[in-house]
Every structure is written in structure tokens, then in C-alpha cells.
């Protein structure tokens, strides 16, 4: 029933995205001019929460736009109704719904759905990860030099030591391809599917990674913070790789010169 609810919820959010995409909808800013929320974000979130609360009215909910709906339940649904809102608002179909389910502080299920590419990623703890019901695995590249990487840039922290721009510059000056898609959840899923070999970002919110990080782990990848400690969705830094390039890329992020 939990998995059925999860899948119904992400697909309901995706249906709202499709309804509003390339149409007319209201757009407003939150913390700054490029931190957007749209009418579609609210519609997707409403559809998702309605399904969860219909089946599990006592469960805790944490969602990007609504915030916390607190209960004493051991279960918490962590929702990003549209990850990649700027892409969505500009008619760029690299955006998705992301929902993770936490039990007693541990993510046990997650799903990411991009309705425009018809890609549904799902993972359950110790059960593997799938894309459209087919098992996926991370890549097998073993060095950063021939990897394809992906990252994201926060609205602040750009000029910090070993910050996003510094690391990006170091990598591309060595002709290592680094992409910037604008959706952390999709970045993580594409690492899980072997399309990217590694992903790093300096400043994420809990709902950005709650589903995607589990999908990477269940696809055989490794996810830590920049110090190498096990990743928690309640921290900001994330490094997710196929495992084989993890320590090399972590060293580069922490200032080691690229050989």
C-alpha cells in the first residue's frame, strides 16, 4: 500500500505538470528573483498531498511549498512537487516530481517522475532501483578523467573556497565534461541509470534529494557528503557517484589538483 500510494502520488503530480506545461500560469519569486514558485507547483503539491492523506491521514508530510504538516507518525513523506521549476516555467522539459518516504529517520522508498520524458524512477530499500520497471545500475567508469559529470549551482555560496565555480572551472579546464541540468532529482536519477558517472552540489534542500539519493544507492552507487561521511537528506552537501570514481572526485572537490 505504501508503494502504491507513492506511485499514485508522483503520477498525480506529473499530471498537473502536464496540464500547466507551456500554458498560462502565475509565477512568483520566493527568496530572490530566480527562486520561483508557479501555480503548477501548488497544483502538483495539492494533488500529491491529497492522495497521501487519503490513504495515510496520520503521516507526517514535509513539502517544499507547504512546509511541514506535523504528526507523531514514524513515517514522513518528503515532497518536491516540481524539481526544476525554472526549467518548467521556461518550457524546458527537464523537470520532475520527487517524493521520498522516510521511516524512523531513514529513507525507505523514493520515486522521481518526469512526465515529459515518460521516465519513472523508483527505489525501495534493499530492493534495487528501476526506470519504467526495468532494473538500472550505475556506470563502470573508473576515473574522473573520462567521466561525464553533472552539478548544480546555488543562488549563494558561489565564491566560497572550493566552491561551485572553482570546482567547475578546475574540471572543465582539464576537458572533463560537466553538465548543469537544473534539477537535482534528475541529476541523481541519471547517475543511477549510468548516464552520468558522478554528481556533486554544495547546497541542497531536503526535498531535492530525498528520493534521488536512495535511487542512486539502490542502483549500486555511493552517496556521501564532501568529507566522505554517509549522506543525510538533512545536510546541504552531496556527492553521488558510481562508487569507482568517488574518492578521486571527492579529492578534487576538496582542492586536490587534477592529475
pLDDT band for 66, please (50, 70, 90 cuts). confident
Task: Say if residue 31's pLDDT is above 60.
Answer: no
Domain end (from 135, 166, 199): 135
* pLDDT tens digits, one per residue of 227-247: 999 999 999 999 999 999 999
Q: What is the largest CA-CA distance in the chain?
A: 55
Clarify whether residues 211 and 160 are in a common domain.
yes
Q: Is residue 258 part of a domain?
A: no
pTM of the model: 0.94
By residue range, what is the domain housing residue 109? 2-135
Domain end (from 92, 111, 135): 135
* pLDDT tens digits, one per residue of 78-97: 999 999 999 999 999 999 99
Task: Detail the DSSP E strand segments found in the chain.
Answer: 27-29, 36-38, 60-63, 67-69, 75-83, 96-103, 106-114, 119-124, 129-131, 134-135, 149-151, 178-179, 198-201, 222-224, 238-241
Clarify whether residues 120 and 208 are in a common domain.
no
pLDDT band for 163, please (50, 70, 90 cuts). confident
Task: Say if residue 14's pLDDT is above 70.
Answer: yes
| pLDDT for position 35 | 54
- Print burial letters for 193-215: b (CB count within 10 Å at least 16), e (below 16): bbbbbbbbbbbbbbbbbbbbbbb
Task: Say if residue 69's pLDDT is above 80.
Answer: yes
Q: What is the DSSP letter of 257?
A: P
Clarify whether residues 64 and 164 are in a common domain.
no
* pLDDT tens digits, one per residue of 110-157: 999 999 999 999 999 999 999 999 999 999 999 999 999 999 987 665
Domain end (from 102, 135, 168): 135
Look-up: residue for cell 538533512? 234
Number of domains present in the structure of the chain: 2
| pLDDT for position 195 | 98
* pLDDT tens digits, one per residue of 171-227: 999 999 999 999 999 999 999 999 999 999 999 999 999 999 999 999 999 999 999
Clarify whether residues 129 and 152 are in a common domain.
no
What CATH number does residue 74 fall under? 3.30.540.10
Amino acid at each position: 500500500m505504501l508503494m502504491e500510494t507513492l506511485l499514485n502520488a508522483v503520477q498525480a503530480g506529473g499530471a498537473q505538470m502536464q496540464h500547466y506545461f507551456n500554458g498560462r500560469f502565475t509565477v512568483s519569486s520566493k527568496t530572490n528573483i530566480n527562486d520561483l514558485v508557479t501555480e503548477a507547483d501548488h497544483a502538483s503539491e495539492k494533488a500529491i498531498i491529497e492522495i497521501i492523506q487519503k490513504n495515510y491521514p496520520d503521516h507526517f508530510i514535509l513539502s517544499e511549498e507547504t512546509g511541514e504538516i506535523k504528526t507523531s507518525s514514524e513515517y514522513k513523506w518528503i515532497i518536491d512537487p516540481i524539481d526544476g521549476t525554472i526549467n518548467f516555467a521556461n518550457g524546458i522539459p527537464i523537470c520532475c516530481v520527487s517524493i521520498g518516504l522516510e521511516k524512523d529517520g531513514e529513507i525507505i522508498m523514493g520515486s522521481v517522475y518526469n512526465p515529459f520524458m515518460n521516465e519513472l524512477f523508483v527505489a525501495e530499500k534493499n530492493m534495487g532501483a528501476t526506470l519504467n520497471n526495468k532494473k538500472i545500475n550505475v556506470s563502470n567508469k573508473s576515473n574522473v578523467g573520462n567521466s561525464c559529470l553533472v552539478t548544480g549551482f546555488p543562488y549563494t555560496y558561489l565564491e566560497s573556497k572550493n566552491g561551485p565555480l572553482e570546482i567547475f572551472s578546475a574540471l572543465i579546464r582539464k576537458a572533463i565534461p560537466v553538465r548543469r541540468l537544473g534539477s537535482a532529482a534528475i541529476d541523481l536519477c541519471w547517475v543511477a541509470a549510468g548516464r552520468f558517472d558522478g554528481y556533486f552540489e554544495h547546497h541542497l534542500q531536503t526535498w531535492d534529494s530525498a528520493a534521488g539519493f536512495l535511487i542512486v544507492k539502490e542502483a549500486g552507487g555511493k552517496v556521501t557528503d564532501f568529507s566522505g561521511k554517509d549522506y543525510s537528506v538533512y545536510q546541504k552537501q552531496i556527492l553521488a557517484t558510481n562508487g569507482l570514481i568517488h574518492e578521486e572526485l571527492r579529492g578534487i572537490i576538496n582542492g586536490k589538483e587534477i592529475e
